[in-house]
């Protein structure tokens, strides 16, 4: 494990951010030696520059932080490695967070200690940062009370740790663009992704039919079987959709009025083909790295609308109350066995191995969730 080098330069964008930086921790402990309310030291995954996550991240020990009146110190229980965490470390997003930074944006923890002014949380409560907030890949996180959302302790910790990015993306996309009623149909590509799996189950919980497109690959029959078990009504590989009358495949299902695209290229065109007159396609990813191509007549005669979704837009926004309501709903589905997805809990000591798996260096693996 690396030792904190005094030569590191830390640049904080906000006071909150500053206070999570290793250097600010040193300052706190050095200049306030007699402070009474300190967090324990924290072990954290830090990166000092953007780049390949397996090269730029390292686990270091951070000194205690002083809790201000409204602060809450949370002992992290679990936090996932999401593709968006990887993208942030790589620096491929249009807005790069300042470095150095601690990795991770979501996770669940237990309240460990409270600032003197905190009244709505108690030691032992389970909490998640909502909206998701940087720095969850560490053993103790200190943030203001308003950052934390108290949740039901009776759900498995790996679901609590992962609820606020992928499942919330799925639910927001089902609710934010088109008014859906039970009996309506939705269509999506990239259906085997974690968001895709959530869409299938959330759609089912709301009485919506769902049509799913997956890529052609070895094991596609097995993938279909898995999605069927989650509640998928129809599943097609892209090549199975090379037919003249694509809508004939729908049988008795109503034509979809909402579609989700996380692939682009041909897979996006297939979603557009399935959509009914006046339908909407929401793009939230581009796994094929190909653009979306749309005919003029799709807009004029078929009256399709194309939109985009990025959860980031919801962070630090006025919608946090709405997001928390949705999170509670999603966790209630988890509790009732109506929402599940595969995860692998990995001890924090094995972070590098989990990161390699999340980076796809070791073949296909379930979502990696660090257990602290």
Q: Which residues of this chain interact with a copy of itself, rule CB under 8 A?
A: 93-94, 264, 282-286, 291-310, 313
Min dist. Cβ of residue 92 to a copy of itself (A): 10
- Smallest separation, CB 309 to a copy of itself (Å): 7
Our CB check for a copy of itself shows the closer of 207 and 310 to be: 310
Catalytic: which of 93, 112, 236, 329? 93
Residue 245: CB partners within 8 Å, gap ≥ 6?
Answer: none
CB of 306 to a copy of itself, least distance (A): 4
Residue 226 or 302 with smaller CB distance to a copy of itself:
302
The C-alpha atoms of residue 84 and residue 27 are separated, in whole angstroms, by 31
Residue 93 known to be catalytic = yes
Distance CA 174, CA 120 (A): 31
> Residue 189's Cα: distance from chain center in Å?
18
Nearest Cα residue to 55 out of 94, 85, 90: 90
Q: Which is nearer to a copy of itself, 16 or 305 (CB)?
A: 305
- In the complex with a copy of itself, the residue whose CB is nearer, 310 or 342, is 310
Task: Give residues with Cβ within 8 angstroms of 337, minimum separation 6.
Answer: none
Cβ 340 vs Cβ 330: under 8 Å: no
Q: How far is the CB of 172 from a copy of itself (least distance, A)?
A: 13
Q: Which is nearer to a copy of itself, 309 or 341 (CB)?
A: 309
Least distance CB 275 / a copy of itself (angstroms): 12
Maximal CA-CA distance, the chain: 76
| Residue whose C-alpha is closest to residue 91's, from 118, 52, 65, 45 | 52
Name the region of 259 (left: φ>0; alpha: ψ -120 to 50; beta: rest). beta
Query: Do the beta carbons of residue 370 and residue 349 sit within 8 Å?
Result: no
- Cis amide leading into 178 (omega within 30): no
- State the catalytic residues: 93
């Amino acid at each position: 494990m690396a030792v904190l080098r005094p030569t590191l330069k830390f640049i904080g964008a906000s006071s909150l951010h500053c206070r999570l930086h290793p250097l600010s921790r040193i300052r706190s402990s050095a200049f306030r030696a007699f402070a009474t309310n300190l967090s324990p030291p924290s072990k954290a995954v830090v990166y000092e520059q953007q780049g390949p996550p397996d090269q730029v991240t390292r686990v270091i020990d951070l000194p205690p932080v002083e809790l201000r009146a409204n602060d809450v110190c949370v002992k992290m229980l679990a936090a996932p490695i999401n593709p968006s965490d990887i993208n942030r470390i790589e620096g491929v997003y249009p807005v790069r967070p300042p470095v150095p930074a601690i990795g991770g944006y979501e996770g669940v923890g237990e309240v460990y200690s409270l600032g003197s002014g905190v009244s709505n949380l108690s030691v032992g409560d389970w909490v998640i940062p909502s909206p998701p907030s940087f720095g969850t890949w560490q053993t103790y996180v200190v943030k203001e009370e308003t950052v934390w959302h108290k949740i039901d302790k009776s759900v498995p910790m790996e679901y609590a740790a992962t609820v606020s990015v992928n499942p919330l993306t799925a639910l927001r996309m089902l609710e934010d663009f088109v008014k859906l009623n039970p009996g309506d149909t939705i269509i999506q590509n990239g259906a085997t992704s974690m968001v895709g799996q959530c869409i299938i189950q959330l759609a089912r919980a709301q009485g919506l039919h769902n049509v799913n497109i997956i890529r052609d690959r070895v094991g596609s029959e097995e993938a279909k079987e898995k999605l069927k078990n989650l509640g998928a009504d129809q599943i097609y590989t892209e090549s199975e959709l090379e037919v003249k009358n694509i809508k004939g495949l729908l049988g008795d299902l109503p034509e979809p009025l909402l579609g989700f695209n996380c692939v682009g290229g041909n897979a996006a065109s297939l979603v557009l083909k399935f959509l009914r007159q006046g339908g909407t396609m929401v793009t939230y990813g581009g796994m094929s790295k190909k653009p979306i191509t749309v005919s003029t007549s799709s807009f004029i005669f078929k009256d399709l609308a194309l939109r985009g979704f990025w959860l980031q837009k919801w962070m630090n926004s006025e919608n946090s109350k709405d997001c928390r309501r949705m999170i509670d709903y999603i966790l209630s589905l988890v509790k009732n066995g109506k929402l599940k997805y595969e995860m692998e809990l990995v001890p924090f000591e094995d972070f590098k191995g989990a990161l390699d798996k999340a980076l796809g260096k070791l073949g296909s693996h379930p979502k990696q969730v660090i257990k602290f």
